[in-house]
Amino acid sequence: MKKEVFDVVIIGAGPSGAVAGAMLAQLNRKVLIIEKEYFPRFSIGESLLPQCMAFLSDAGLVDAVHSGAEKFAFQFKNGAAFSKQGQETFFDFTQKFSEGPGTTYQVKRADFDNLLAQGAQDKGVEIRYGHQVLAVDVDDELPSVTVKSESGEHYTVEGKFLLDASGFGRVLPRLLDLELPSSFPVRHSYFAHFQDNICDANFDRDKILITVHPEHQDIWYWLIPFSDGTASVGVVGEPEKFDQTHTPEQVLLQFIEQAPNLKHLLADAKVINSVQTIRGYSADVTRLHGDNYALLGNAGEFLDPVFSSGVTIALKSASLIVPLIEDKLNGKKIDLAKDYAAPLKQGVDCFRTFVSAWYDGRFQDVIFFSEQEPHVRGMISSILAGYAWDLDNPYVAQSERRFNVLHQLCKSE
């Protein structure tokens, strides 16, 4: 049988794969996405950052997200609120330093991912659901993937370029031996959707609420409201903090009881799906590309969920790689180390500074400091809104150094 050849083959139809596919289709490229699941399917990662909206706009997908918002109970989001031992603070993303959208949504990922995948299909991308990539060969000029179809047959397709957007499936890191342990410790997360029944009038559904555990500053919770009276609630911490003899539901509910603000807000909440667990989610790779392939989103590095940066990084990776693939397909010489891996890593490293500072408590000192300059807060707000590639922001350009100076000023309180 004649082998099928596409301009680009993408493994995975999550946000990075769908957005890369849509952008390539806009350039009239012939794109195949192999997706092992059937959509809509559950996925974690429900609080978007405003920077995402710019990438969705470039991919021609933002209108579909706005028009689907009401139907799919996407919750308008304009910021992030933080709570620690009775102290409360929040960042309004519309009061940020960087140019660009200041609002976004909290989304049920099953519907959001399905919407993006359908948008990509509408632009001409072929998606084969229920097909799983089993093997790859990137040694020839044209990379190829071996796929198990939904009926169990194996077949091979070639692309002029291969993108791994397989997220936690980590197809190329596994098959090409690219795995690198994350520099962050192993952490576990327990989470579920609740009928939240929150009746406190002071609760702001337009913001994600991040709560620090009253005794352990490295354990934290998310409360992500949707617009239909449901919410996603999760807790994150190192494994030894969770009693493994308890069921995931017992663990999550016990931890909610330990945080007074959540205990109050969720007093009448009811779990509406089974409590799920993700163990050891942080991951890294030795390299993000070869000559004829690149890793997008979570298939590359995943830091941590605390600042909801995962989907933003995934979409940024798609938006960086597509023009480079286009140049390559047009016969131009491209430098993926300089123009893909380095710029992507610059923003990831900025988030890394903030994630590290979150877990050792320095970020918490900074955000709860009472006399913060509004323009400094605007710069921090920009990063929390996902603008981690805006080098005009000093907290992006020199994140570690600037953050440490700021922390010295704030910790004296």
Binding site for ligand FAD (CB under 6 A): 11-17, 34-37, 43-48, 132-133, 165-169, 171, 189, 234, 278, 281, 296-299, 302, 305, 308, 310-312, 314
| Smallest separation, CB 405 to ligand FAD (Å) | 28
What DSSP element (H or E) covers 346? helix 342-359
- The residue among 166 and 261 lying less far from ligand FAD, judged by its C-beta, is 166
Closest CB to ligand FAD among residues 37, 394: 37
Choice between 119 and 365, CB closer to ligand FAD: 119
In terms of CB distance, is 108 or 410 closer to ligand FAD? 108
Identity of the residue, 43 or 399, whose beta carbon is nearer to ligand FAD in the bound complex? 43
Residues with Cβ < 8 Å from 288, sequence gap 6 or more?
294, 295, 300, 301, 336, 340, 341, 344, 345
User: Smallest gap, in angstroms, from Cβ of residue 281 to ligand FAD?
Assistant: 4
Short-list 106, 98, 95, 90, CA closest to 48: 106
Taking the complex as a whole, how short is the minimal distance between the CB of residue 113 and ligand FAD, in angstroms?
Answer: 7
Judged by beta carbon, residue 347 or residue 406, the one nearer ligand FAD is 347
CB 77 within 8 A of CB 106: yes
Asked if residues 249 and 227 have their Cβ atoms less than 8 Å apart, the reply is no
* Pick from 315, 223, 310: nearest CA to 269: 223
| DSSP β-bridge partners for residue 224 | 232
Among the listed residues 204, 252, 217, 167, the one whose alpha carbon sits nearest the alpha carbon of residue 79 = 204
Distance of closest approach, residue 170 Cβ to ligand FAD, in angstroms? 8
Report the DSSP beta bridge partners of residue 161. 8
CB of 187 to ligand FAD, least distance (A): 9
CA distance 392 to 350: 13
- We find the least distance from the C-beta atom of residue 410 to ligand FAD, in angstroms, to be 26
**Chain centroid offset of residue 400 CA:** 22
